[in-house]
Structure 1
Amino acid sequence: MLSDPINLASLFVLGSIGWLTYKILIWPFFVSPLRKIPGPPPDSLIYGNVKALLSGEADGFVEPQFKWYKKYGNIVKYYGIFNKPAVFVADPKIIQEITLSKSYDFIKPYSNNKPAIALLGKGLVFAEGDVHKRQRKMMNPAFSHSNIKGMVPDFIRVTNTLIDLIKKELSQGNSNVNLTPYISKTTLDIIGLVGFSYEFNSLTSPNELAVAYDGVFNTTPDMLHATIIMLSSYISFVRHIPFGVNLRYKEACDVIHRESQKLIDAKYKEAESGDLKSKDLLSLLINNNKTLPEEEKLTYDELRNQIMTFLVAGHETTSVTTSWALYLLAHHPHYQDLLREELVKAYPDKSKFNPTYDEIHSLEFLNCVLKETLRIATPAIQKSAEIWGPTAEEFDPSRWLDPALMKKINNYNYLPFLNGARGCIGNKVASAEAKIMLAMLIMNFVFKPIEGFQIRRRAFPTPKVDPYLGLDVSIVKS
């Protein structure tokens, strides 16, 4: 009688070993349809090439993907958790097919990540196929030129608070400033206002939703945390194991869901009484939704999910971009000076800096700085010497003033916001916000590297400054 349970346990153990052996050692190398694509060998049976991707870069902006691309070609196979093969593509023609002509044929790998969907919902980032088409079509009017123009005063107001806080720190004798929390809170406060008329005020006071959001998205993951994040896309229950990292994550998620529910309910209540007059993105979506035929409307849950879409896409990306722009300008003082000269010429009295949307986009060198930051701070094809010349791996905003180079640039070799149906719907919002923040910071402060302080570029989950953006900051003399 006892032998049956023992035999069953033995079979289960042997079966598990056999299954793991097949998944880790046999399928990736001998069965997978990707097996003949060139690429780096796995560094580990468990982590594949993940550790290389997580390690960050100490040598400028030369990430592992770019090194692989130069060594193995435009299509590279690498290995994820448990040696699962994945493909990195840097071929413009294939990118055109993926992003434009067959964009809905290529399902995003994170679209079935249950823990992520449980937090973020199937908003525009996670939606696929016809659901994405419907959401995108319905949301496009909210991102019209006239609506984005109306956001500029909020960009300026919040950034003025940032300027005052940095000046206060300098007045206290702290010239070596950790700018990461300042910039992150600034972009969070801005997206709160323009996204759904919500006053985070995280720059000046504690806020439960801001703290919860920060705990989920702005914590630098160690190897255990990173492993849990990636494992959860394969085995969803991993996120439910009750220990430190997961418990903190669950608590933060509960706060985010509760506060998001309050936001959407308040907006719905205003809309029902006809009092929803705000011009924030969520209000525009709700009012537009009321006018649509039933089959084109977003559901209550879909509208609520857009709150997290705005928070993640609208806050994180701009924060990272602005941070890298300051880092690069600090390490290239000549370009920082050129940008400041342009800004001072356009706005001699910085206390009266109040540009319109069109005026901020008319500043030529500011445009060059942002474009070059977006080029060099994202992987691979945007650093190809074939397109960008022998200085492709260097930060050089002036390259954008070269007419010969501009003839080579298109939406398939320069795509910081992607393109096609899955292109970033908020790219104009992000660009205007980043330009306002950069302009105001450069007009008010001089940024230099801190001697002996090394900054790396973290690759996962977003390409953030690691450990933080520490710079030597001083007041611009009039």
Structure 2
Amino acid sequence: MPLFDLLPSLLLVVLGVVVCRRLRSLFAAHGPRNGLRALPGPPSPSLLLGYAWQFWTTDPTELHEEWVGRYGRVLQYRIFGYNCLFTMDTKALGHILARDDVYQKPHQMRTFIAQMLGNDCHQNPAFGPMQIREFTDIFFTKASQVRTMKKPRLYTKTDIMVAVQLRDILSLEVARNRDVAKVDIYDWVHRMTLDAIGEAAFGYNLETLDLDSKPNELCEAHRLVSQSVTRMSLYPMLRFCFPALRILPEEQSRRFAHARGVMTCFVRQLIEDKRRELAEDTSSKLYRRKRGDFLTLVVEANMGTLLPEGEKLSDETIIDECTTFLTAGHETTAITLSWFMYCVAANPVVQEKLRSELFTIATEHPTIEQLLSLKYLDQVLREVTRLYPAIPSSLRMAMEDDLLPLEEPVRINGMKHDFVWVPKGTPIVMPNLAMNRDKALWGEDAFEFRPDRWDALPEAVSVIPGIWANNLTFMGGQHACLGFRYSLNQIKVAVFTLLRSFEFQLAVPVEDIGKSTTLLVRPMMLSNPEKGPQLQMLVRAYRQD
């Protein structure tokens, strides 16, 4: 019998297994030990799907915020047969982030990430959190220093180089269009951050900002992926929650596989080139001074004699880590920088005040100390990351039974409790954006873009368990974003370079600019979502009086 004729039967078997597993978890969820079902929360609209459909068609953050107003700061709801815990209790969130051995990313999430980037190297003992942190700290230390002690320290040579290159490209566009150019600023900062991570992490010029270069396959692969996930669709989400469905082909997964293949080939070739260059170099000390990128450090350590054979990394492990570094190192930076430009374009008073501060520095190549002295630049950046986190929420799952402590007691069965019992296998939503604009902590103007709020923050926000700027944008704990300083530094350099040269204005009504309802929140046009992420702006040369 042809395989095509067997497909419907196979699909029914798969769906039968999935339904049985979900019904089993459904009955287990209502067992006597599960204290979650006693928590307040919205009634489930569907026995099997729960609130899955609502999350694919509505902004989940807005839905969560509505529930918090109705049921309190600790609640539960159902999705795909699971009892999910949602909390905005700061003590509970701090406990979850600190106990990363108990609360980990769900298997489905790790599988989804591996589909795009490779296996999660943070789970590999040879490349665990401490080892990655050491490599990253070494890399950022080297990247933030010039090669001679006689010169002042810069943020990074790479960041300044690509920012100036983008400035020159925009200048050319303005001249070609008679003083006013309409550009997709998201596309250009995406190229800029990709070039920067290529130079900084791999010592390789991707040339995505080079107008005369041929189309870059790596850049196009990233573009295809970002365009394919502008909006949620049900089937990819079913594949995410039900791994058995992944045997069936689907367009988004094919694009992920293609991008993953392109990145793997690119990194594998770089590893071979690094090994050859290191083997041919007769002076390793001189070489290290010349090339201090992340990949060189990893390959050199692997080739050396200091590491025992059992601790040396396989090529596949290096490839997985580098593809993660490549994507995570530029994508979220590009998104945050795009939202920064949106905020200053939508708020001309803020843009002019910020530009005036930038011109208090005479040089085009500022030192770290000079950029750190720019108080308003730092305030605007903090406000942008607060209101526009690239990842609005994150998932964790309890790997074992645990008691979750609470700052504010919750009422269960008529009694107040300072703890919530969390059974093994419970999904937990980490509400990054909801916490960042929580009116109970930030005040009634929490949804407003107001950089001046950082002159006098409410005392309540000091208990938010994030690693930077009193918010959860970069998370906290051992699995907080390792590269957040690199990202912030690059954004500051780009803003410093661009705003001193240009005036930015939105090219479409502000009401037409929306957010993609996906894992990463990119800017898009509500009137043309099919075109994918974009942020159209009018750019003019800035001329001082």
Question: TM-score per shorter chain, which class?
Answer: 0.7 to 0.9
Using the TM superposition, name which of 367-376 and 280-289 deviates more: 280-289
CA contact (8 A) 1:56 1:457 kept: no
CA contact (8 A) 2:267 2:319 kept: yes
Task: Pick closer, same or farther for the CA change 1:90–1:447 going to 2, 3 Å.
Answer: same
Task: Pick closer, same or farther for the CA change 1:78–1:316 going to 2, 3 Å.
Answer: farther
What are the within-5 Å matches in structure 2 for residues 88-103 of structure 1? 88-100=86-98, 102-103=99-100
Distance in 2, matches of 1:250 and 1:45, equals: 33
Partner of 1:381: 435
Residue from 124, 128, 132 that aligns with 2:128: 132
Distance in 2, matches of 1:423 and 1:339, equals: 29
Q: For each residue in 1:38-67, what CA deviation from the matched residue of structure 2 results, as whole angstroms up to 9, or x when unmatched?
A: 33445666754345444576xxx9743333
Partner of 1:117: 114
CA-based RMSD of the aligned residues comes to 3.5
Residue from 128, 144, 147 that aligns with 1:148: 144
Is 2:117 aligned against 1:105? no
Partner of 1:369: 380
CA contact (8 A) 2:133 2:482 kept: no
Task: Give the aligned residue type for 1:376.
Answer: L
CA contact (8 A) 1:357 1:432 kept: no
What are the within-5 Å matches in structure 2 for residues 46-85 of structure 1? 48-55=50-57, 63-80=62-79, 82-85=80-83
Gaps of 5+ in 2: 1-8, 147-154, 390-432, 526-533
Is 2:185 aligned against 1:179? yes
Corresponding residue SS for 1:448: strand
Partner of 1:212: 221
Distance in 2, matches of 1:21 and 1:407, equals: 39
Partner of 2:395: none
Distance in 2, matches of 1:36 and 1:396, equals: 39
Using the TM superposition, name which of 145-154 and 250-259 deviates more: 145-154
How far did residue 192 of structure 1 move? 0.9
How far did residue 406 of structure 1 move? 9.3
Task: Pick closer, same or farther for the CA change 1:14–1:214 going to 2, 3 Å.
Answer: closer
Task: Give the aligned residue type for 1:148.
Answer: S
Residue from 259, 264, 268 that aligns with 1:261: 268
CA contact (8 A) 2:45 2:51 kept: yes
How far did residue 78 of structure 1 move? 4.1
Task: Pick closer, same or farther for the CA change 1:312–1:17 going to 2, 3 Å.
Answer: closer
Task: Pick closer, same or farther for the CA change 1:325–1:119 going to 2, 3 Å.
Answer: closer
Task: Give the aligned residue type for 1:452.
Answer: P
Partner of 2:235: 227
How far did residue 75 of structure 1 move? 2.7
Partner of 1:465: 523
Partner of 1:475: 541
Task: Pick closer, same or farther for the CA change 1:155–1:137 going to 2, 3 Å.
Answer: closer
Partner of 1:323: 338
Task: Pick closer, same or farther for the CA change 1:137–1:146 going to 2, 3 Å.
Answer: closer
Task: Pick closer, same or farther for the CA change 1:130–1:304 going to 2, 3 Å.
Answer: closer
Distance in 1, matches of 2:14 and 2:238, equals: 21
Gaps of 5+ in 1: 1-7
Task: Give the aligned residue type for 1:72.
Answer: Y
Partner of 1:39: 41
Using the TM superposition, name which of 412-421 and 462-471 deviates more: 412-421
CA contact (8 A) 1:142 1:285 kept: no
Task: Give the aligned residue type for 1:200.
Answer: L
Q: For each residue in 1:309-331, what CA deviation from the matched residue of structure 2 results, as whole angstroms up to 9, or x when unmatched?
A: 21222111111111111112222
Distance in 2, matches of 1:466 and 1:46, equals: 32
How far did residue 372 of structure 1 move? 1.1
Residue from 363, 368, 371 that aligns with 1:357: 368
Distance in 2, matches of 1:281 and 1:17, equals: 43
How far did residue 168 of structure 1 move? 3.0
Using the TM superposition, name which of 291-300 and 371-380 deviates more: 291-300
How far did residue 79 of structure 1 move? 4.3
Using the TM superposition, name which of 207-216 and 103-112 deviates more: 103-112
Distance in 1, matches of 2:486 and 2:77, equals: 34
Partner of 1:5: none
Q: For each residue in 1:89-140, what CA deviation from the matched residue of structure 2 results, as whole angstroms up to 9, or x when unmatched?
A: 322111211222x12211112576435324422345x537886345435424
How far did residue 432 of structure 1 move? 0.3
CA contact (8 A) 1:179 1:470 kept: yes
In terms of fraction of residues, the more strand-rich structure is 2
Q: For each residue in 1:440-475, what CA deviation from the matched residue of structure 2 results, as whole angstroms up to 9, or x when unmatched?
A: 222222223335351112231201112321233322
How far did residue 386 of structure 1 move? 3.1
CA contact (8 A) 2:14 2:245 kept: no
Aligned residues: 458
What are the within-5 Å matches in structure 2 for residues 255-404 of structure 1? 255-274=262-281, 277=288, 278-289=291-302, 290=304, 291-294=306-309, 296-347=311-362, 352-378=363-389, 379-402=433-456
How far did residue 12 of structure 1 move? 6.4
How far did residue 285 of structure 1 move? 2.8
Task: Give the aligned residue type for 1:22.
Answer: L
Distance in 2, matches of 1:472 and 1:42, equals: 46
CA contact (8 A) 1:448 1:473 kept: yes
Corresponding residue SS for 1:408: helix
Corresponding residue SS for 1:422: coil
Task: Give the aligned residue type for 1:440.
Answer: T
Task: Give the aligned residue type for 2:484.
Answer: N
How far did residue 376 of structure 1 move? 1.5
CA contact (8 A) 1:104 1:128 kept: no
Partner of 1:448: 505
Task: Give the aligned residue type for 2:70.
Answer: K
Partner of 1:4: none
Q: For each residue in 1:193-223, what CA deviation from the matched residue of structure 2 results, as whole angstroms up to 9, or x when unmatched?
A: 1111121111234111221232234533444
How far did residue 299 of structure 1 move? 3.6
CA contact (8 A) 1:260 1:304 kept: yes
Residue from 478, 486, 494 that aligns with 1:429: 486
Distance in 2, matches of 1:385 and 1:48, equals: 28
